[in-house]
Homo-oligomer: A and B are copies of this chain.
Amino acid sequence: MRIKIKEAADFLRTRDNFYILTHQSPDGDTIGSGFGLCFALRKLGKNANVLCSDDFPKRYNFMMEGYEPMKFTPETIVAVDVADAKLLGSKLSGYGDYVDLCIDHHVSNTEYAQRLLLYPDAAAACEVMYSLLTEMEIPLDKKIAECLYTGIATDTGCFKYGNTTRLCHMIAAKLMEQGINFEWINREMFDIKSRARLLVEQYISSSMEFYLDDRCAIAAVTLETIEETGLAQEEFEGIAGMSVQVEGVMVGAILKEKEPGKFKISVRSASDVDVSAICRKLGGGGHKKAAGCTLEGKVDEVKMQLLSAIAPALGMDLWLV
C-alpha cells in the first residue's frame, strides 16, 4: 500500500523496536538513509538497529561512529532504499514478507512492503528521508546530517548527474548548517582510490583503442591479462564510465572476459546514441546511456561483433573507416 509522508511519520512515531534493513552490496544511500533514520529514532528514545546482509564497506564507517547495536526484540521492520525484497540479500531474506514500511526512491520498487513511501523523482532515499524526518519534526544534528548528505552526494555523483533535483541542493544547504565536513566526505567518496583500483584504471586507460573516427572507444580485459597483471576483480566496479571520458567519444565499451571466450560487455553513451538499442541487437539490454550484453568468441572477434552493431548507430560504415 502506497502511503504519504504524514502517514509514514505517524507510523514511525507510534511504533518502537525497529530493525532497519539496508540492501545487499550496500552503498552510500542505503547506509546513509538507514543510519540517519536509526539515529533519529534513537533521539526519540526508541530502540533501533541497522541490518545488512553484507559487511559495510570500510569507507562508510564514519557514518556509524557512535553506533552500537542494541538488544531488543524487533517489532517494526523498515527497509530503506530497497527496491525489491530479493535485494535484502541472503542473511535478511527471511524478513522479505514482513517489511512494515519501505522508504524508497526507485521507480522499479516491487511494492513488497506493507506500506510504501516512494518518491520516484527523488535522486536518493536520503532525499525522502530528509523530508520524512522534517515531517516528524526531529531536529537534525551533525551525525544525521552527515548520513543524509552522504547518501545524496553518492547517488548524484556530488550533484553532477542528471538525477540531481532542486531539492537535493536545498537539502544540502540545510544539512551544511549542521557543520558537516562535506569536503572530507566528498574526498573520501569521490577522490580517494586504492592502489589496486589505480592499477585497474591504468590498465583500462592504456589499453583503450579508438575506432570509427575516434567516436568509439573500447578497452578489453581478458582472463590472460587478469592472470598476468594480477588486477583485482573487485576493483572493476563502475569502470565502464572510463570508456566515454575522452573528448569526442560518443559510445564507449569495456569488454571483460568472465569465462574463457565469454565476454561481459558494458556499453556507455556520451551522446544521443541509445546504447540499449545496440545491446538489444546483441541479445542484451539496459538503459539509453548505460547498457550491456554478453558476447562469445576471441577478443578480436568480440570487438568486431560489437563494432558492427555500434557503427550504424553512429551513422557510419565499419568497413569504410
Contact = CB atoms under 8 A, between A and B. Distances in A.
Interface of A: 158-162, 164-167, 169-170, 172-173, 176-177, 182-183, 186-187, 190-195, 198, 201-202, 205-206, 208, 210, 241, 245-247, 270
Contact of A186 (B160, B165, B183): B160
A190 B158 CA distance: 11
Interface of chain A, main secondary structure: helix
Contact of A170 (B164, B173, B208, B245): B173
Given A173-B166, A246-B193, A183 B161 contact: yes
Contacts of A169: 159, 169-170, 172-173, 176
A1 to B, nearest CB: 32
Q: Most chain-B Cβ atoms within 10 A of its Cβ — which of A160, A162, A198?
A: A160
A166 B177 contact: yes
Say how many copies of this protein the assembly contains.
2
Contacts of A198: 205, 208, 245-246
Contacts of A201: 205
B159 A191 contact: no
Given A170-B173, A201-B205, 7 more contacts: A158-B159, A159-B159, A161-B183, A161-B186, A165-B176, A194-B246, A198-B245
Nearest to A270: B187
A9 to B, nearest CB: 24
Contacts of A172: 159, 169
A252 to B, nearest CB: 12
A227 to B, nearest CB: 20
B183 A162 contact: yes
Given A176-B169, A198-B205, A205-B198, A192 B158 contact: no
Nearest to A194: B247
B158 A160 contact: yes
A149 to B, nearest CB: 11
